[in-house]
Structure 1
Amino acid sequence: MKKVITTTLMMCSMAASALTPAPAAKPVDQVFINANIHVGNGEVLENAQFAISDGKISRAGYYRMALDGSEIDLKGQHIYPGFILASTNLGLTEVDSVKATIDATETGQLNPNVRALIAYNTDSERIPTMRFNGILLAQTTPSGGLVSGTSSVVQLDAWNWEDAVVKADDGLHINWPAEWSKRFDFSTFTMQLKKDDKYTEKTDQIKALLADARSTGHDNNVKLNAVKPVFSGQKKVFIHTNNPKSIIEAISHIKSMGIDDPVLVTGQAAGSVIEFLQEQQISVIINGTHALPQLSDDSIDERYSLPARLLQAGIQTALTYPGSMSSRNLAFAAGSTVAYGLSTEQALQMITGTAAQILGIDDQYGTLEVGKSATFFISQGDALDMRGNVVEQAYIDGRPVELHTRQQELYERYKEKYDQ
């Protein structure tokens, strides 16, 4: 009996320590001085004033105003807009190896009616690790099948998905297949180029779904009703594919259906179709820069330099990070592009201002401008460099976010072990 009681108490203690912090109650009013403000649109305001009130930014720049002594002197520290993690399974997946904790994928091939928002878990232990690295907003996105469902944009400090939502049902996500793709051949232990014999069948399913949704007379069909808003512009189409031929085919067909502004979520394949993307005026979300080149004759820095090449071509480009387990490294992935053609502020824009524009939330988020939401964080140094990304404070809609979580407790615990 004693062993049972002891074990129970230990489990309760572990569960308590694993609890995610409670969301902040209400916005605060605060003035910061001597701050380096990274606006998120390419502009930096050095040694400037920054103030928040009623959840909004009330001051960002240089003001000749009498101070009352209650302001916080940041002494040259940096203020950044909250980073935006696009196209992620954050809040939908907890432990990758435990199926019961994964709610990102639905069975079947065509699931446009699936809403990621209602499955979003605000108590996920992954969320606090994002906030500690400056990620304060995310586009929680379903995956799997040919049409995965509908994503939503959320802020990362809430009791439930109703409180978290920033923009509900912002986009429909389509996984356009590739006719030819590389697959691992266990007989030779090499990557082989294989043809998908069901390629035409799969693309025909997607095309038929779009065609049926555009027609009338399906008031009671939940799948078609979920697709219909893409034709009126109420919902964007996000095309996921990393094959040059599939990119051209998918975008050409989507635009032929009267959908003018699809968004491409891809990787290295975008580099082969830059002229096409430029001509079609397609916004692109690059899914990860920390990856090896796909082709043997590609440059080793193909992924690192791709964002700069897209930007130079005038293509609206944002960055994201694959999965969610390691996506707290989003800022460092953006920072890596600085050595391959981007300036620091251009790289920052790709995870703040530009990402907000692509997701349709730039009226309130993405840049630090007067009147917009006070969603930002304060870092000791350059937030795109892991040496400078030391987040001191973070605010979402003017509410101070708790940053000291289980991760920090574990760090402090084992740091003491080696200090002795």
Structure 2
Amino acid sequence: MHTAARLAALSLALGAAGIIAPAAAHAQVVIPTAAQSQPVALKGATIHTVTKGTITNGTIVMDRGKIIAIGGADTEVPRGAKVVDVAGKHIYPGLIDAYSTVGISEIGAVDMSNDVNERGDFNPNVRPEVAVNAESRHIGTTRNAGVLVAFATPGGGVISGLSSAISLEGWTWEEMSMKGAAALNVNWPDPNARPRGPFGGPPGGPGGRAGQPAPKTYAEQVEAIRGFFAEARAYRDALKSKQSVRTDSRYAAMIPALNGEIPVVVAAEGVAQINDAITWGKEEGVKLVIRGGRDAIHVAPRLKAEQIPVILTSTMSAPPREDDGYDGAYSSPAALYKAGVKFAIAGDGNALYSYRLPWDAGVAVAFGLPEEEALKAVTINAAEFMGVSDKVGSLEVGKEATLLITTGTPLDMTSNIIQSYIQGREIDMNDIQKQFFKKYMEKINQQKKKIAS
């Protein structure tokens, strides 16, 4: 029996046995929407373009996945368009998570469902988009919170690979892919960390093992990064001069970063880390972005002067040091804004919590960041830093029709996202959390009826 036939027979058997009811099984399936087939006009909402102001009683027209018109109530609507009345609602661009593992990480305790970390220190050729699981349950919960674009980011090692921009809708990774090589990721070593042996302690000491190689010092780790970039640059220059060289996928993946075509995102938290990373980035001549940025405010004058943006992570985290204020992370975005540093806000890279991105930005508003700046931090700023601002990040003619229809700002958890569109597709707003909510509300209702009877 063919696989499809076996699966069909199994489904029928389970349904007949009462293990799954056909209606329940159907309710738990989220089916990707087909590509936009006719123009759609959304009329009557307050449109928050992010880059070109706010339009009251506005109209936005989408066709073939793009925004073709945006303006007031008198905006021309194409003949044959589907007109949707959204009076009293708000329209925002889809939010962007600049640091995510959605689609490449599913269940923490199940290794084979996680495809984030590769073995080895230098893996610049890792491109996570090819490992994206379009069936991931995290995709539904993330996009229903307003996050419609994510940068799938590998981890581990020193150079962990390339971030891939993906739209959170599609049957396959190819359909979801927006930009496969969006940024090169470097994990900067910590100068304050004590050198550790391979078993958690110094070689030959407690927790270590005699005969193991000595751990690298901070200086040696930095020199290894410089050395790898130098080798990649030599490889690039050899190709330019048409020398005969053996193909090396790792060095080839570095070329766009070396040429300044994509940014180098350096994960750095402390003052020394950030300063050393900036110095190194200037020496290498790369387009630098700092990710993490716990102590970025203490380096703010230099970040501003050298126009280096920051992707802030974990704005809802606890203070890392005993003498830090309780609101250190919450107020960091407002402090950077006042200091003139450009920044985006991202989550902590955990796929399970990517849906919290709007509230990562919302808490910054509660602690002093202007709301319009918080919105930029999860839309146009993230798009600009990661090289996709020509496609997403704001509502403009010619950009992808990736947007939200809401009852209020998506940064406030009391607002509801009524409907989302990704590249003009009216997406299914179902997700696993909603399914479980309905399931257990039904349980409560059944118990109430039982008690009443």
Residue of structure 2 aligned with 1:371, choices 387, 390, 398: 398
Instruction: Name 1:106's counterpart in structure 2.
Output: 118
TM-score, structure 2 length as denominator?
0.83
Question: Aligned residue for 1:238?
Answer: 265
User: What is the CA deviation profile of residues 368-405 of structure 1, one whole-angstrom value per residue up to 9, with x for unaligned ones?
Assistant: 112211100111222111111x1111111111111123
Partner of 1:189: none
One-letter amino acid matched to 2:231: D
Number of aligned pairs? Answer: 403
Establish whether residue 273 from structure 1 lines up as the match of residue 285 from structure 2. Answer: no
Q: Quick one: distance in 1 between partners of 2:277 and 2:27?
A: 44
What is the one-letter code of the residue matched to 2:412? D
Q: Which amino acid aligns with 1:74?
A: V
In structure 1, what is the equivalent of residue 64 of structure 2? 54
SS of the aligned residue for 1:291 comes to coil
Residue matched to 1:80: 92
Instruction: Report what 1:212 is aligned to.
Output: 231
Q: Does 1:251 align with 2:260?
A: no
Indicate conservation of the 8 Å contact 2:359/2:411, yes or no: yes
How high is the TM-score relative to the length of structure 1?
A: 0.89
Match of 1:228 among 255, 258, 281: 255
Q: Following the alignment from structure 1 to structure 2, what is the Cα–Cα distance between the partners of residues 380 and 361? A: 27
Query: What residue in structure 2 maps to residue 135 of structure 1?
Result: 147
Aligned residue for 2:164?
152
SS in 1 for 2:304: helix
Shift of 1:63: 4.2
- The equivalent position to 2:358 in structure 1, one of 307, 323, 331, is 331
Give secondary structure in 2 for the equivalent of 1:180.
coil
Shift of 1:8: 10
Structure 2 CA distance, aligned partners of 1:329 and 1:182?
33
Equivalent residue in structure 1 for 2:33, among 10, 24, 29? 24
CA offsets per residue over residues 65-101 of structure 1, 9 Å max, x none? 5779963222211111011011211111110111111
Greater radius of gyration (CA): 2
Write the distance in 2 (CA, Å) between the matches of 1:336 and 1:41.
22
1:319 aligns with: 345
| Shift in alpha-carbon separation, 1:406–1:325, aligned structure 2, 3 A | closer
Change over 3 Å in CA distance of 1:25–1:274 after alignment to 2: same
CA distance in 1, matches of 2:194, 2:315: 20
How many angstroms apart in 2 are the aligned matches of 1:163 and 1:12? 31
CA distance in 1, matches of 2:322, 2:296: 17
Deviations along 1:191-226, one digit per CA (max 9) or x if unpaired, are xxxxx8632222221111011111144542222221
Contact kept in structure 2, 1:105 and 1:142, CA below 8 Å: yes
Output one character per residue of 1:211-243: Cα deviation in whole Å (capped at 9) or x when no partner.
111114454222222112212122221100112
- Secondary structure at the residue paired with 1:136? strand
- The residue identity in structure 1 corresponding to 2:126 is V
Q: Which residue of 2 aligns with 1:120?
A: 132
What residue is the counterpart of 2:321 in the other structure? 295
Distance 1:182 1:392 in 2: 50
Letter in 1 for 2:131: A
Distance 1:143 1:264 in 2: 15
Moved more, 32-41 or 281-290: 32-41
**Comparing 267-276 with 35-44, which one deviates more in the overlay?**
35-44
Query: What displacement does 1:47 show?
Result: 2.2
Superposed, 1:181-200 pairs within 5 Å as 181=193, 198-200=217-219
Relative to structure 1, the CA distance from residue 314 to residue 8 in structure 2 (aligned partners, 3 Å threshold; closer, same or farther) is farther
CA drift at 1:407: 2.4
Listed one character per residue, the Cα deviations across residues 275-307 of structure 1 (whole Å, up to 9, x for unaligned) are 121122101100120012222222221111111
Q: Which runs of 5+ in 2 are unaligned?
A: 1-12, 201-214, 239-244, 449-453
Following the alignment from structure 1 to structure 2, what is the Cα–Cα distance between the partners of residues 142 and 308? 29
Q: Which residue of 2 aligns with 1:193?
A: none
Identity within the alignment, %: 33
Q: Is the 8 A contact 1:33 1:50 kept in 2?
A: yes
Counterpart-to-counterpart distance in 2, 1:66 and 1:282 = 42
- Describe the superposition over 1:16-73 as per-residue Cα deviations: whole angstroms up to 9, x where unpaired: 5696522211214222222011112373222222221222112322142577996322
User: CA 1:170–1:11 in 2, change beyond 3 Å: closer, same or farther?
Assistant: farther
**1:33/1:101 CA distance change after superposition, 3 Å:** same
Q: How far, CA to CA, are the matches of 1:280 and 1:128 in structure 2?
A: 39
Does the 8 Å contact 2:44/2:73 carry over to 1?
A: no
Q: Is this contact kept in 2: 1:56–1:370, CA < 8 A? A: yes
In the TM superposition, structure 1's runs of 4+ consecutive aligned residues that sit over 3 Å from their partners are 5-20, 65-70, 216-219
Residue in 1 that maps onto 2:439 = 413
What is the alpha-carbon distance in structure 2 between the residues aligned to residue 125 and residue 113 of structure 1?
Answer: 27
Residue in 1 that maps onto 2:178: 166
Equivalent residue, structure 1, for 2:407: 380
Question: Counterparts of 1:410 and 1:300 in 2: how far apart (Å)?
Answer: 34
Q: Which moved more, 1:40-49 or 1:51-60?
A: 40-49
1:36 aligns with 46
Please report how far the alpha carbon of residue 357 of structure 1 lies from its aligned counterpart in structure 2 after TM superposition.
Answer: 0.8
- The aligned counterpart of 1:191 is none
1:7 deviates by 10
- For 2:220 and 2:395, the matched residues in 1 are separated by 47
CA contact (8 A) 1:365 1:372 kept: yes
> SS at the partner of 1:268?
coil
